[in-house]
Every structure is written in structure tokens, then in C-alpha cells.
Amino acid sequence: MQLLWKAFVASIFSLIFLQPAQAGAPQVLFDQGHGQLFYIDQQGTLDLSQLADTFSEAGFAVSSTNTPLTAAALETVDALIISGAFRSPTISEIDAIQGFIQRGGKLAVMLHVGPLVIPLLNSLNVSVSMGVLHDTTKAIGGKSSDFPVSSLAGHVLFDQIKSFELYGAWGLNPNVPTVRIMAITEPSAWLDNNRDQVKGNNPQGRFPVIVRGVLGAGEYLVFGDDAIFQNQFMTGNNRQLANNMALWMKP
């Protein structure tokens, strides 16, 4: 009986001291309500369970939602991730997202089909290309849409890495000075505007693939590729990039 009593007291003691720490953990919310096909609670090669684990290991309380993004839903959220959306949030949802950022929240958007979320990108003062980027001279495994990027801004996002790998990215363009280029391709990159995987006369040059913006007290990142953080590609530098992003998104 004495041992049982000691165990009971110990459990109560743990609850008293652990609950405040859990309650005070920063909150990251993964949006899964805009046609996403890749989820944080599934272990498939293209799912985001390893990215969710990265945020958990960084001290976040991780949750997801498939309901509309509202001011009330984002009230206690510190970090919001919209990855692989196949349709843009509505005007009212975009208003809620902007209010979330303005009060100090951090947003990360990763694109699967960039043109499908143009309304969201417009609200962030970011334009997106109509074709996927290729770089024949740096192709990974002979696939020109898969290539490394090594021209990186000086930022905590790139701590301990000199490059990372893309696996089908869209080119980005900042529309205002408060949106900065964080990562950009080499001049050998080109856009497959014809979607025939042939370089031809398609535009060639340096294209931003990660940009960062400031809005009120908060900030946001837009990645031209969502595969960067999918389970299959969360290795090496891409995993370190995810670790750095999680730390950057902490309040």
C-alpha cells in the first residue's frame, strides 16, 4: 500500500509540473483542408510525418486541420504550414492568415502546383512561374527537374548547410521590397513553360525558389517546392533545412 501511495503522489507531482510546460509549448498547425494529398499522420513516401516529427522535436505541439482557416482557429497558433495545397484559401481565409501574421505569427507555404494557389501568393506579394524549373547541367539522377540549389542568403534557415535539393520547383518572384530572395538557382536553370520537358526557347536564368516576407510583427516563407520536406526527400541537407525552419518558426 505504501508503494502504491508513493506512486500516486509521484504521478500527481508529475502532472502538476508537466502540464504548464505542455500548455506553454508553441503551437504549429498544418493545414490539410485545401485539397492536400500528403499528410502529417501518414507514413507514405510523399507524406509529411517526418516534417511533423521535426517540429515536435523542436518543442512544438503539432496539430492539423481540414476545416476553414479562421481568426478563431489561428488565435492560439504560433506557426502555420500550408504545404501541397491544390486550391487556394478563400478571401476570408486569406484575411485570417494575414491577421495571424500581423500579430506575430509565422507562415510557411510550400508549393505543389504553384498556379493553383495564386490568390494566396498574391496576398503575400509573391508571383509564381507558369512552368516548373529545370537545370540540365545539375540534374539529380538524370532528371532535370531535380537539382541542387547553393546560392543561399545569410540566414538561420541555412545554418550548417551550403545547398539543398529541389524535386520539381516553381520559380518565385518578389513583388515588393519587403519580400526578400532567400535561395536562387544558377543561371543554367530554365522554365518548362511548354510543359514538354524540352528547353527550346523557354526562359533561362536565375530564378528565386525561396522568398521571405514581413507583415506587421510576423514573417512568412514561400518555398517553390513542397517535395523538399516530403518523407522520401527528408535526408541530408533537406532534413537540416527542416530543422532550421522549425527553429526559425518558434516564437
pLDDT per residue as tens digits for the range 68-90: 999 999 999 999 999 999 999 99
Is the separation of the CB atoms in 53 and 47 below 8 Å?
A: no
- Domain ranges (residues) in the chain: 29-132+168-184+206-248
Contact at 8 Å (CB) between 98 and 73?
no
pLDDT at 14 over 50: no
**pLDDT at res. 18:** 34
Q: Could you tell me which of 110, 65, 112 has the C-alpha nearest to residue 86?
A: 112
For domain 29-132+168-184+206-248, the CATH class is alpha beta
Q: What is the mean pLDDT of residues 229-237?
A: 98
SS3 26: coil
| pTM, entire model | 0.90
Report the pLDDT value the prediction gives residue 24, as an integer from 0 to 100.
Answer: 86
Q: Residue for cell digits 500527481?
A: 12
